[in-house]
Amino acid sequence: MDGTGSAGEASMIRLSGVGKTYDDGTVAVHALDLEVRRGELVCLVGPSGCGKSTTLKMINRLIEPTTGTIEIDGRDVTRQDPVQLRRSIGYVIQQVGLFPHQRIIANVMTVPLLYGESKATARARATELLELVGLDPARYAERYPSQLSGGQQQRVGVARALAAKPPVLLMDEPFGAVDPLVRLRLQDEFLRLQRDLGVTVVFVTHDIDEAVRLGDRVAVFATGGRLAQYDTPARILGRPADDFVADFVGSTSGLRRLDVTPLDPAHLEPLEGVRAGDIGAAIDVDSTLGHAMAVLLRDDAGMVGVRDGARFVGVLTPNGIHRALRAALAEMADA
């Protein structure tokens, strides 16, 4: 279980011995030690009632911890004014929580205005964020929430949470209420946005596929609020810490490993002797094996071209994917 950051890596969020026990004796979170590095996206995953959402809400003090300390950027959150704390932390939930009688632009401007920003500055920031989340301000800024789809409303929720330039963003099942195809697009767009902005994210989900797709690291919670494993997606899939994690990951962990294993140019076939008609669609050299396999299946092709920028560097075949996956598993076993 990797519950701490490596030496020399700045910790943005640190939970030390954090627990939550309710008045009736129910233990929601048990003696939790967890660190989230600056700029990292950490997913909290587990079955219903395991304490993942409680943990998230303790970070911004929507729920007060019973024991332990929580620090953000070295400052104890329990010593801060809770209202000011929450204004400094972005928060996105499944139900979005947009103000129905305000236009979209006004929804996104809310927190900057609370901080005393001028209307002109807040509007400029809101316009920039709508563009970042893929909503053309010329089309959507003056609409009301009811005039947007569920996926579009979630994008507005993300934009509003980022409007005050928070160093930390907390997300509780943000994409759980939209259909699967929209959910995948939102995940992709959010990953791009998070990488571009460098914001530190704690993301709650019940879906292990979403967790391994998004997370730099994943915290698997067990019933009773116990942290069962905290590690990279690849190691959680390849080396579960105990039977609970193995059962939670499930029998399809081998397929999930494809989505967290990067393509290795060493496993490409050379372009020489390959007919152009045999090559399907092209993928980027920094793609995952899962993406490569999806393209192969979609195009019913025997190989897929791999490019580095505008230059083709080889082709990947199903045999190459198999070799790459076996090499990744062997490397993990050696580690």
Residue 94 lies in a domain: no
Q: Above 50 in pLDDT, residue 6?
A: no
CB 74 within 8 A of CB 168: no
Q: What is the structure's pLDDT at 330? A: 67
Q: In what order do the strands lie in the sheet with 279-284?
A: 279-284, 303-308, 311-316
Q: Above 90 in pLDDT, residue 261?
A: no
In this prediction, residues 143-151 reach a mean pLDDT of 90
- Domain hosting 296: range is 261-334
Domain boundary among 240, 260, 280: 260
User: Which structure tokens are listed for 289?
Assistant: 């094996």
In this prediction, residues 103-117 reach a mean pLDDT of 90
204/175: higher pLDDT:
204
pTM of the model: 0.76
Q: What is the DSSP code string of 61-127?
A: TSS--SEEEEEETTEEGGGS-HHHHHHTEEEEETT----TTS-HHHHHHHHHHHTT--HHHHHHHHH
What's the pLDDT band for 97 if we cut at 50, 70, 90? confident
Residues 82 and 179 in one domain: yes
In this prediction, residues 118-135 reach a mean pLDDT of 91
In this prediction, residues 7-31 reach a mean pLDDT of 87
In this prediction, residues 85-95 reach a mean pLDDT of 85
Residues 154 and 209 in one domain: no
What's the pLDDT band for 70 if we cut at 50, 70, 90? very high
Residues sharing a CB contact under 8 Å with residue 252, sequence separation 6 or more, in sequence order: none
279/236: higher pLDDT:
236
Q: What is the structure's pLDDT at 229? A: 96
Q: Above 50 in pLDDT, residue 309?
A: yes
φ, ψ of residue 131 in degrees (nearest 5): -65, -40
In this prediction, residues 219-233 reach a mean pLDDT of 93
Q: What is the structure's pLDDT at 61? A: 93
Q: What is the DSSP code string of 222-255?
A: ETTTEEEEEE-HHHHHHS-SSHHHHHHH-TTHHH
CB 44 within 8 A of CB 236: no
The tally of CA atoms less than 13 A away on the side-chain side of residue 316 is 33
CB 40 within 8 A of CB 198: no
218/235: higher pLDDT:
218
Q: In what order do the strands lie in the sheet with 75-76?
A: 27-37, 11-21, 67-72, 75-76
Q: Residue 272 belongs to a domain with what CATH number?
A: 3.90.1280.20
Domain boundary among 260, 287, 320: 260
Q: What is the structure's pLDDT at 251? A: 53
Q: Please, what is the average pLDDT of the chain?
A: 85
- The residue with tokens 């393209």 is 295
Residues 184 and 59 in one domain: yes
Residues 191 and 201 in one domain: yes
Residues 39 and 128 in one domain: no
CB 272 within 8 A of CB 263: no
Residues 175 and 243 in one domain: yes
CB 81 within 8 A of CB 74: no
Q: Above 50 in pLDDT, residue 4?
A: no
Domain boundary among 260, 283, 298: 260
Q: 70, 40, 93: which is closest to 205 by C-alpha?
A: 93
Q: Above 70 in pLDDT, residue 1?
A: no
Q: Above 80 in pLDDT, residue 277?
A: no
Domain count, the chain: 3
